[in-house]
Structure 1
Amino acid sequence: MIKSDRPIFVIGCPRSGTTMLQLMLHSHPRIGVPPETRFVVPGYYRRFVFGDLREEVNRRRLGQWIVTDKDTKFKELKLDGDRFIEDVVAGPPTLGSAIGIAFRSYAEQFGKARWGDKRPSYYHYVDILLRLFPDAQFIHLIRDGRDCVASLKEMPWYTKDVFHAVNNWAEAIDFGRRHAKNLPADSYYELRYEDLTRDPETELRGLCGFLGEEYDPAMSEPCHVARQAIPQNRVWHLNTHGDVTTARTGSWKARLEPWEVSLCETVLAERLTANGYELTGAPKADKAHVTAVSKVEAKRRAARRRKDLRDRINRFREPGPVAAQLTTRQLGELARV
Structure 2
Amino acid sequence: MSDRPVFVIGCPRSGTTMLQLMLHSHPRLAVPPETRFVMPVYYKRRAFGDLRDAERRRALAEWIAGDRSTKFRELKLDRDAFVRQVVDGPGSLGSVIGTAFRMYAERFGKARWGDKRPSYVKHTDLLLRLFPDAQFIHLIRDGRDCVASLKEMPWYTLDSFHAVSTWAEAIDHGDKLRRTLPDDSYFELRYEDLTDDPVTELKKLCAFLEEDFSPSMVSPREAASVAVPQHKVWHSNTHGEVTRSRVGSWAKRLDGWEIALCEQVLGDRLEANGYELTGAAPAAKEHVSACNKTMQRRRNSRMRKSMRDRFNRLREPSPVAALLTTGQLALAGVPQQRSESPELAERTG
**Shorter-chain-normalised TM-score: which range?**
over 0.9
The equivalent residue for 1:73 is 71
1:320 deviates by 1.0
- The Cα shift of 1:228 comes to 1.1
Q: Write out aligned runs for 1:132-151 (5 A).
A: 132-151=130-149
Of 209, 212, 227, the match for 1:211:
209
The alpha carbon displacement at 1:271 in A equals: 0.2
* Correspondence for 1:192: 190
- Residue type matched to 1:216 in 2? S
Please show how residues 159-170 of structure 1 align to structure 2 within 5 Å: 159-170=157-168
**1:315-326 residue pairs with structure 2 within 5 A?**
315-326=313-324
The residue aligned with 2:24 is 26
Partner of 2:343: none
Name the structure 1 match of 2:50: 52
Structure 1 residue 267 corresponds to structure 2 residue 265: yes
Q: Which residue of 2 aligns with 1:36?
A: 34
Q: Which residue of 1 aligns with 2:239?
A: 241
The equivalent position to 1:312 in structure 2, one of 302, 310, 314, is: 310
Where does the alignment leave 5 or more consecutive residues of structure 1 unmatched? none
Q: CA deviation digits over 1:17-52, x for unaligned, max 9?
A: 000000000000000000000000110001011100
Runs of 4+ in 1 over 4 A off after TM superposition: none
Give the TM-score taking structure 2 as reference length: 0.95
* Shift, 1:192, TM fit: 0.0
Partner of 2:254: 256
How far apart, in 2, do the equivalents of 1:17 and 1:221 lie?
Answer: 15
SS at match of 2:188: strand
**Cα distance per residue 1:260-313 (max 9 Å; x no partner):** 100000000000000000000000000111111111111111111111111111
Instruction: Report the Cα distance in structure 2 between the residues aligned to 1:236 and 1:24, rounded to whole angstroms.
Output: 18
State the SS of the aligned residue for 1:71: helix
- The alpha-carbon deviation at position 335 of structure 1 amounts to 1.4
Deviations 1:196-234 (A, max 9, x none): 000000000000000000000000001111111100000
Residue 158 of structure 1 corresponds to: 156
Query: Where does residue 5 of structure 1 map in the other structure?
Result: 3
Q: Identify unmatched segments of 5+ residues in structure 2.
A: 335-349
Within 5 Å, give how 1:63-142 maps onto structure 2.
63-142=61-140
In percent, how many aligned pairs have the same letter? Answer: 66
Displacement of 1:141 in angstroms is 0.1
* Cα distance in structure 2, aligned partners of 1:15 and 1:56: 40
Give the secondary structure class of the aligned counterpart of 1:156: coil
Q: With structure 1 as the length reference, what TM-score do the two structures score?
A: 0.98
Compute the displacement of 1:110 (Å): 0.4
Q: 1:35 & 1:101 partners in 2: Cα distance?
A: 16
Cα RMSD, aligned residues only: 0.7
Q: Identify the residue that residue 286 of structure 1 maps to in structure 2.
A: 284
